Structure 1
Amino acid sequence: MVNGLRAWLVPERDQVVVDDARERRAIVTELVIVFTVTLGMSGLRSLLSLIDSLLQPAPLSDQKVALNVPQATATLIDFLKQLLSAVQLVAWGALAVYLLWRAGYRLSQVGLRFFRSDVVRAVGLAALIGIPGLGLYLAAYALGFNLTVLPTTLNDTWWRPIALVASAFGNAWAEETLVVAYFITRLRQLGLRENKSLVYAAVLRGSYHLYQGFGGFVGNFVMGLVFGRIWQRTNRLWPLVIAHTLLDVVAFVGYAFLHNVSWLPK
């Protein structure tokens, strides 16, 4: 049992470390460019948003931040812009997968081989993360460490559920491919140990949720540790993508219909 726990906490993995100095510089440069364009820049903006919120006279819990907001006054244009935002997220994840493929990795090597059991695993994983995650958010909000998070402020239109599901999948696909499969794989090539790569990936995941407050960072940091370790141990990415999608669908669509529930922060 002790050896099994140690294997989980300190996984060993055969990997090809890039020794050529020029190739290593190319990997580092690629990482900087990719995350400047995608989630790394989101992390910096999120940090600035948190600092701005802390500088406001009102406490964090009295401030609000919305995740899915209207992007146009004309309803059809708003719908199309919502879909384009989701497409952009899917493209970010596709870029990560493409770069790994160009580097010689097969899709199955980074976990993108689908098994029917992935759906069952995903449902269990979503419950494992979602229920404690909601409790953490409510606790952080009550303690004044978090802003009031409004999952959506979209108008009640026929297309709202479609846009929210598209947003959920886009976020899940982008984050899991970029922060787990791509980032950790590249760190392996640079010779970083699994635990250190895992922590770096979790910090990155938490960073672009800082705009929600300290609870948003901590909750997503923990989620990053769990998701990243599962991928390191199983090399299966689809359970993470599906679980993340389910979490966001419940948060986005559920809030749209249940936002008047008395115990939810408003």
Structure 2
Amino acid sequence: MSSNVPKETQISEPSERSEAERVQRRGLIIELLIVLGLSLGKSGIYSIANLVDKMTRAPLGSQTTSLNNSLNQRQYFDLTYQLLDIFFTLVPVMLVLYLLFRIPGCNPFDRLGFNMKKPLLDLGWGAGLFLAMGIGTLGVYALGRLLGLTTIIVPAALDDYWWTVPVLIFSAIRHGILEEVIVVGYLFERLARLGWGKWQIILMSAVLRGSYHLYQGIGPFVGNVAMGMIFGYVYSKKGRVMPLVIAHAFLDIAGFVGYALLGSAIGLGT
């Protein structure tokens, strides 16, 4: 018995599905490039340019990189600009959560494990990663300085105001949320949909993390790639970015606030 479905329809259905898949894949790639172009991908490109600039000026070991710089000479305008900078840096995170929210039935906070549903577990893993990464970071920095591959890093170059420490804490939390939600959670989700394997995604995430630290020198690039491999592996097993956010925030709080309070007294940054 012959089929009642026209031959043209039988032939076109697989073709239509294939075309729809190509369109969806192309859309995901464009989305990914836009998000990275608005956030840490852009930072990576600028960081590479900044590294080349530094390397063509003088040896890296003789140069200084300062973080959390003052943005205005007047105290309350400086505070205003600092808070605005923190807020607008987090807008790409809002965009990523919105893009995932548009997926039918998707709760982006649950999808990325960016919530408070497992506070003790997240805190425990975050604290453990903080201790492990903190020791490693100090070792990589010391080795980089010894080999002349890392600039002198000044983690906090703000003036001494009543709001300095709170702003440094907010800045640290900002970095933790921005990097872990986008470079781990979002990147893993999108690259997996594009058919990438686990270790391909982990490596890509780690290299991207290292790229936007190149302005500090070769040492921080290597250290952050290693950190990215560990964070990526933990995320692939746990499926939650919250422990990574906590660990990252702890690392930056220790570096920023510790330097602001004790750096000059104990001769850090030299």
Q: Same fold (TM over 0.5)?
A: yes
Determine what percentage of the aligned residue pairs are the same residue: 38
Detail structure 1 runs of 4+ shifted over 6 Å in the superposition: none
Tell me whether 1:138 sits opposite 2:142 in the alignment: yes
What is the CA–CA distance in structure 2 between the aligned matches of 1:186 and 1:210, rounded to whole Å? 25
State the Cα distance separating 1:132 from its structure 2 match: 1.1
Which residue of structure 2 lines up, in the alignment, with residue 73 of structure 1?
73
- Which of 240, 244, 247 in structure 2 is aligned with 1:243? 247
Contact 1:111–1:231 under 8 Å retained in 2: no
Match of 1:116 in 2: 119
Secondary structure of the 1:264 match is coil
Q: Give the 3-state SS of the residue equivalent to 1:153 in structure 2.
A: coil
Q: CA deviation at 1:263?
A: 5.6
Partner of 1:65: helix, strand, or coil? strand
Unaligned 5+ residue runs, structure 1?
1-17
The answer (yes or no) to whether the contact 2:210–2:224 under 8 Å persists in 1 is yes
Provide the aligned length of Structure 1 versus Structure 2. Answer: 248
Equivalent-residue separation in structure 2 for 1:23 and 1:99 (angstroms)? 14
Give 3-state SS (helix, strand or coil) of 1:149's partner: strand
Q: Which segment is superposed worse, 192-201 or 18-27? A: 18-27
* Distance (Å, rounded) in 2 between the aligned partners of 1:103 and 1:213: 39
Rounded Cα–Cα distance in structure 1 between residues aligned with 2:21 and 2:62: 52
1:85–1:167 contact (8 Å) kept in structure 2: no
User: Per-residue deviation at 1:98?
Assistant: 1.6
Q: Retained in 2: the 8 A contact 1:62–1:147?
A: yes
Aligned-residue Cα RMSD (Å) equals: 1.5
> What residue identity is the alignment partner of 1:116?
P
Ranges in structure 2 where 5+ consecutive residues have no aligned partner: 1-18
Q: Which segment is superposed worse, 113-122 or 68-77? A: 113-122
Worse overlay, 106-115 or 130-139: 106-115
Q: Within 1, Cα distance between the matches of 2:221 and 2:258?
A: 22
- Residue deviations 1:184-217 (CA, integer Å, cap 9, x gap): 1100000000100110011111100000000111
How big is each residue's C-alpha offset from its partner over 1:18-70, in whole Å with a ceiling of 9 and x where there is no partner?
A: 970000000000011111111101100000000011101x3111101111000
Counterpart among 193, 198, 205 of residue 189 in structure 1: 193
